[in-house]
């Protein structure tokens, strides 16, 4: 489903902030207008970004979560149907010797009906996502069906715990099927509620009434269904071979595929041991693919959106401080020192403007670096907190479940949870209670994405910091670097002192111009000469065609360079010199203030219930006619460096559209022929 559009009014928010500005902060009418435009653009972007994130969950995340958890709930419903819900355990007997008490036939029939309704709801949701059934038909069926299943299971569970309860109550326990039904009811209710929010957003035209899931989202859903099917079928096969209770076999299959292996259940027959080899190999590979899908979808997509949001908040803080101080918003704030400073002496007007823009660009890069670093550590803290909560709360629940059946204290459950999370599974402690085994299946399914995200975030922060520290130490000890011992030592001191000891050669202060260039400097000079000659021509010179052909060649060469960068595994960040060349090809000169306009990757207009992907850079490419009143800034809300779109993607779109416009104009000129020349 498309990301949400934002049609709420922002006038009150803009006016509220602008009302805080005093007149003494404005140096001139022009400067005041430019500052108001910058502040307004910042407030518009942040306000829309905040609401965009909320509606993105409703339009994309909620359907994906429902499509993933819906099959899980149905799998639990199957487990709740295959066995009776009550067991008789006389005093002095173990839980494994407890006899099953047959459930009433009407309970089985109603349970089977709700399972059929739930599977139908899942089917309609998948058909809607595959665009085989309309949204307006599929979603009501899905939502109503899941709610029916949830409330039906709740009613059956309440009946089993009330009127159907046998006496003496202390001799009867709930089976694993009962607890699977309880978990299924909760999941049905949660998924149905999520889809209600999604349906409401589509009904109020916050986004279109269809699903446009990415490949990673579809893959995650299908792999989840495949894993659950494989788990349940494998458990059925091994239960028949080994003579296990089916739900015990489900618990065994789950611990096997998660490579925990407590040893409380293990195949004993030759046939089962032979089948275990392919079953475990295929299952572990399937689980690994599922982990990869979680990482690619949650982390890669989430990182770009969070980076864009945090960059905008950091930029907004800068603009707000500059506006309150009455300073130009292009001047960096105190704690955002830029390594590039504009030249103020012995420079022409164009050189000063170029250096000012270069300084502004470096400031934006610094903002991006700070926002990315902050996002990485925040993501680590959040994911680590979730992992710790899963560990500690899981231990608490395991302790409550096992305490009536074996002498566990909280530390035993704490230890058991840890060896389970990191898949050691010594087997010295294992679960025997029905509630504990069912919760273990649910708990491991929750631990899978939580641990995956936590490890990936640790790799971007702690592991990366250790890796860089080892490389820096190697540069000053046994593996000297290319910069020289003094520079390497200064960089190490700067890093380990957390920036307290300054270093002109610290890695964070390296100019972006030292990076690998996308094309040689000769290309930039040729582009400058070509665009300058085109600007000087009046259309009657015979060299116009040659200059235009050369310009088209330069555009094609730039498009080829950007397209190659899109195939690289990491996002390419271009230097200021490269951006200046690209912008010159698009008709803008970084040395000429009059051309600093219309490079707007984001349009933040008030739309009335129009579906669009916010923050993707879907704007009109800059044309040859430049409006000097529509100024833009590298740190402004219309900067090409803003948003979640990659720089190469933005450039490819603009360069391609520019080439199309130029070729259309050349074709019109050629078709006009001599008459066009006479007019000119």
Predicted pLDDT at 54: 61
**pLDDT confidence of residue 668:** 82
* Of 228, 295, 256, 243, the residue nearest 79 (C-alpha): 228
* Bigger pLDDT: 543 vs 483: 483
What are the tokens at 228?
A: 């659950």
User: Residue 595 has what pLDDT?
Assistant: 57
Q: What is the pLDDT of residues 377-424, one digit of tens each?
A: 888 899 999 999 999 999 999 999 999 999 999 999 999 999 999 999
Q: What is the pLDDT of residue 346?
A: 40
Q: What backbone torsions phi and psi does residue 100 show, to the nearest 5 degrees?
A: -80, 140
User: What single DSSP character describes residue 58?
Assistant: I
Distance separating alpha carbons of residues 143 and 190, to the nearest angstrom? 10
Distance, in Å, from the CA atom of 580 to the CA atom of 561, rounded to the nearest integer, reads 15
Q: What is the dihedral of CA 399, 400, 404, 408, to 10 degrees?
A: 10
| More confident call, 636 vs 299 | 636
Digit-coded pLDDT (tens) for 620-639 = 333 333 334 446 778 777 78
Separation of alpha carbons 98 and 173, rounded Å: 9
Structure tokens at 241: 């071979």
Q: What is the mean pLDDT of residues 180-208?
A: 90
Report, as an integer, the average pLDDT of 650-679.
Answer: 78
What b-and-e string marks burial along 590-600, b requiring 16 or more CB atoms within 10 Å of the CB? bbebebbbbbb
The count of C-alpha atoms lying within 13 angstroms of the C-alpha of 283, restricted to the half-sphere facing its C-beta, is: 22
* Residues 527-540: tens digit of each pLDDT: 766 666 666 555 54
Distance separating alpha carbons of residues 603 and 345, to the nearest angstrom: 37
Which runs of E-coded beta strand occur in 248-391?
none
648: CB partners within 8 A, 6+ apart: 562, 563, 565, 566, 571, 572
- Is-contact 511 340, C-beta < 8 A? yes
Q: Which two tokens stand for residue 264?
A: 């409380």
Position 605 scores a pLDDT of 47
Domains (range + CATH), the chain: 1-12+31-213 (1.20.140.150), 521-679 (no CATH)
pLDDT per position as a tens digit, 461-473: 888 778 777 777 7
pLDDT of residue 282: 96
58 vs 540, more confident = 58
Cα-based angle 322, 328, 334 (whole degrees, multiple of 5): 50
Count Cα neighbours of 462 within 13 Å in the Cβ-side half-sphere.
10
């Amino acid at each position: 489903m498309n990301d949400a559009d934002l049609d709420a009014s922002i006038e009150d928010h803009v006016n509220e902030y602008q009302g805080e500005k005093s007149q003494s902060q404005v140096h001139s009418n022009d400067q005041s207008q430019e500052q108001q435009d910058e502040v307004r653009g910042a407030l518009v972007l942040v306000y829309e970004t905040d609401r965009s994130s909320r509606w993105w969950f409703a339009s994309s995340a909620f359907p994906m979560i429902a499509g993933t958890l819906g099959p899980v709930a149905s799998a639990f419903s199957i487990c709740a149907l295959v066995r009776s819900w009550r067991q008789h355990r006389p005093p002095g007997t173990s839980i494994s010797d407890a006899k099953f008490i047959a459930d009433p036939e009407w309970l089985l029939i109603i349970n089977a009906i709700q399972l059929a309704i739930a599977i139908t709801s899942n089917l309609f949701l998948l058909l809607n996502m595959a665009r085989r059934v309309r949204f307006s038909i599929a979603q009501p069926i899905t939502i109503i069906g899941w709610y029916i299943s949830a409330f039906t299971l709740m009613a059956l569970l309440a009946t089993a715990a009330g009127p159907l309860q046998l006496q003496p109550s202390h001799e009867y326990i709930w089976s694993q099927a009962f607890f699977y039904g309880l978990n299924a009811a909760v999941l049905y209710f949660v998924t149905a509620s999520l889809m209600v929010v999604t349906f409401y957003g589509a009904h109020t035209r916050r986004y279109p009434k269809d699903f446009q899931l990415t490949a990673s989202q579809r893959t995650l859903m299908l792999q989840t269904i495949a894993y659950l099917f494989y788990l349940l079928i494998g458990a059925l096969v091994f239960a028949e071979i080994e003579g296990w209770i089916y739900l015990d076999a489900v618990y065994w299959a789950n611990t096997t595929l998660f490579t925990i292996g407590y040893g409380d259940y293990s195949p004993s027959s030759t046939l089962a041991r032979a089948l275990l080899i392919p079953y475990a190999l295929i299952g572990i590979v399937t689980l690994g693919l599922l982990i990869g899908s979680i990482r690619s979808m949650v982390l890669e997509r989430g990182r770009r959106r969070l980076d864009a949001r945090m960059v905008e908040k950091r930029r907004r803080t800068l603009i707000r401080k500059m506006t309150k101080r009455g300073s130009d918003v292009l001047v960096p704030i105190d704690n955002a020192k830029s390594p590039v400073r504009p030249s103020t002496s012995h420079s022409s007007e164009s050189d000063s403007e170029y250096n000012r823009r270069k300084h502004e660009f470096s400031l934006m890069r610094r903002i991006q670096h700070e926002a990315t670093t902050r996002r990485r550590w925040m993501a680590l803290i959040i994911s680590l907190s979730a992992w710790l909560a899963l560990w500690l709360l899981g231990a608490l629940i395991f302790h409550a479940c096992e305490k009536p059946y074996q002498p566990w204290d909280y530390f035993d459950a704490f230890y058991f949870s840890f060896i389970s999370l990191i898949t050691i599974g010594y087997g010295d402690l294992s679960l025997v209670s029905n509630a504990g085994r069912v919760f273990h299946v649910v708990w491991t399914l929750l631990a899978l994405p939580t641990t995956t995200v936590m490890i990936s975030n640790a790799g971007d922060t702690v592991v990366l910091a250790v890796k860089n520290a080892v490389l820096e130490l190697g540069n000053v000890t046994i593996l000297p670097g290319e910069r020289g011992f003094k520079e390497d030592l200064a960089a190490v001191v700067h890093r380990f002192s957390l920036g307290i000891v300054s270093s002109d050669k610290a890695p964070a202060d390296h100019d972006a111009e030292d990076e690998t260039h996308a094309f040689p400097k000769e290309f930039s000079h040729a582009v400058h000469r070509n665009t300058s000659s085109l600007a000087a021509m009046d259309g009657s010179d015979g060299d116009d065609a040659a200059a235009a052909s050369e310009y088209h060649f330069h555009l094609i060469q730039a498009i080829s360079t950007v397209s190659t960068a899109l195939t690289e595994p990491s996002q390419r960040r271009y230097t200021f010199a490269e951006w200046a060349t690209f912008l010159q090809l698009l008709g803008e000169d970084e040395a000429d203030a009059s051309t600093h306009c219309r490079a707007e990757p984001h349009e933040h207009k008030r739309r009335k219930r129009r579906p669009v992907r916010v923050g993707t850079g879907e704007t009109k490419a800059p044309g040859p006619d430049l409006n000097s009143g529509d100024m833009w800034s590298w740190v402004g809300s219309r900067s090409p460096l803003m948003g979640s779109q990659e720089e190469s993607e933005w450039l490819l779109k603009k360069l391609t559209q520019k080439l199309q416009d130029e070729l259309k104009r050349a074709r019109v000129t050629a078709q006009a022929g001599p008459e066009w020349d006479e007019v000119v």
